[in-house]
Amino acid sequence: MFKPSIHLLNKEIRENNFKGALSIMTFFLFLPALIIMFWLFIKGLPVLSLDFLLQDPIRGMTAGGIFPTIVGTFWLVIISVLVSCPLGVLAALYLSEYAADGRTTRIIRLAILNLAGVPSIVHALFGLGAFVLFLRMGTSILAASFTLAVMNLPVIITSTLESLKAVPHSFREASWNVGASKLQTIRHIVLPNSFPGILTGLVFAVGRSAGETAAILFTGVAFYLPFLPQSVFDQCMSLSMHLFTISTQVVGVPEAYPYATALVLILLILSINSISVLLRSYFRTRRKW
């Protein structure tokens, strides 16, 4: 009968220890996320109600609800995506369909990478210098949305690029072969078939920008506004900023309020992300090739 030597046994024990240690570590890594979620639910849920969502904050933000912040976040996110989506898709189209793999492409890729890596507070400074002051938008929804759009651009470019590359090259060749131009091929072959991926990436970017705070800090978001924004040139409140304000700047806020605000913010982002996940699986079942 085969009898493992001591050496081999040691090896096996070490191997199991190794695997066990890694799995425990990984588990502990994700534990905080679960705990945080649980804890926000426990503390925030009692306050969370339709009234909380649909009322204005009152008495110096120590009572009432968070309605204007939700409206503000909505404005910011929608306008920023309206700006960054076309630009991001165009940029990805250029990289995947037009650019040769040369020096320029390399520089563009580096620029995208750096754009993604620039700290959000530096984006805020840029937004202040470029949109608020230079383009004279003032501190407004427009300026804040543009700043968010610049931040989102690399995210959208990267995800769009991935979906464009997932369309087989042979489809493009087949289309060119029968006399379709490059642009017709993009319009009739590439875009329709990468649309699901582009949309998924876009929704994901929306979720990301809904939670952003630093980038909109000086460009268009107010601590407190007694009215809802009437146009894109008004300032607005935002959910993320409101959480910052009531948890650090205002005294006398009932303890549950910031919890409930954080919970709403997280749930909002999670539901946007789930839409993205659902879209992905929905389109997967309807794949055409």
Partner 1 sequence: MIKKKFEIKNLTVGYNKKTVIHDLNLDIYQNEVLAIIGPANSGKSSLLRCLNRMTDFNTEVNVSGTVLLDGENIYEDEDSTFLRRRVGMVSPLPVGLPMTIKENVTYAPRMAGCKDQRELDFIMEDCLKKAALWDEVKDRLNGLATKLSGGQQQRLTIARALSHHPEVLCLDEFSIAIDPVTTMKIESVLHELKKSITIVMVTNVISQAKRLGDRTAMMLNGKILDLDQNDKIFGGHTKDSRTKDYIEGLFG
Partner 2 sequence: MEMKATETAPLAMEWRQKKSTKPKSERFFEGLIKAGGYSSIVLIGAILFFILKESFPFLVGAFDFKNFFFSTNWNPASVNNVSYGILALIVGTLCVTCLSMLIAVPLGLATAFYISEFCSPRLRETYKILIEFLAAIPSVVWGFVAIMMINPMIIKTFNVPIGLNILNASIILALMSLPLIVSVGEDALRAVPDTYREAAEALGATRWEVATRVLLPAAKNGLLAAALLGVGRALGETMAVLMATGHSIQIPKSFFDPARTLTATIAAELGESPKGGEHYQALFAIGLVLFIISLIVNVTADHLIRGRKK
Q: Which 134-173 residues touch partner 1, going by CB under 8 A?
A: 170-173
* Residue with smaller CB distance to partner 1, 28 or 289: 289
* Residue with smaller CB distance to partner 1, 7 or 103: 103
Residue 57 phi, psi (nearest 5): -70, 140
Q: Are 235 and 141 in contact (CB under 8 A)?
A: yes
Mode of pairing for the β-strands spanning 57-58 and 63-64: antiparallel
Residues 185-244 that bind partner 1 (CB under 8 A): 188-189, 192-193
Question: Could you say which of partner 2, partner 1, none residue 145 binds, taking C-beta under 5 to 8 angstroms by partner kind?
Answer: none
Q: Does 50 bind partner 1 (CB under 8 A)?
A: no
CB of 64 to partner 1, least distance (A): 53
Tokens of 181: 């131009």
Rounded CA separation 94/84 (Å): 15
Question: Could you say which of partner 2, partner 1, none residue 150 binds, taking C-beta under 5 to 8 angstroms by partner kind?
Answer: partner 2
Question: Could you say which of partner 1, partner 2, none residue 170 binds, taking C-beta under 5 to 8 angstroms by partner kind?
Answer: partner 1
Rounded CA separation 89/78 (Å): 16
Candidate segments 48-56, 90-98, 169-177, 195-203, binder of partner 2 by CB under 8 A? 90-98
Q: Are 65 and 56 in contact (CB under 8 A)?
A: yes
CB of 193 to partner 1, least distance (A): 6
Tokens of 216: 């909109």
CB of 168 to partner 2, least distance (A): 21
Rounded CA separation 237/242 (Å): 7
Q: Does 284 bind partner 1 (CB under 8 A)?
A: no
Q: Are 214 and 120 in contact (CB under 8 A)?
A: yes
Rounded CA separation 194/156 (Å): 13
Q: Does 201 bind partner 2 (CB under 8 A)?
A: no
Among 61, 77, 81, 93, binds partner 2 (CB under 8 A): 93
Rounded CA separation 193/186 (Å): 10
Among 74, 94, 126, 176, binds partner 1 (CB under 8 A): 176
* Residue with smaller CB distance to partner 1, 88 or 196: 196
Binding-residue pattern over the window 81 to 120 for partner 1, x denoting contact by CB under 8 A: -------------------xxx------------------
CB of 16 to partner 2, least distance (A): 9
Rounded CA separation 238/221 (Å): 7
CB of 156 to partner 1, least distance (A): 24
Q: Are 96 and 109 in contact (CB under 8 A)?
A: no
The Cα diameter of the chain in Å comes to: 85
> Looking at residue 64, what DSSP letter applies?
E
Give contact residues for partner 1 (rule: CB under 8 A).
100-102, 170-182, 184, 188-189, 192-193, 288-289
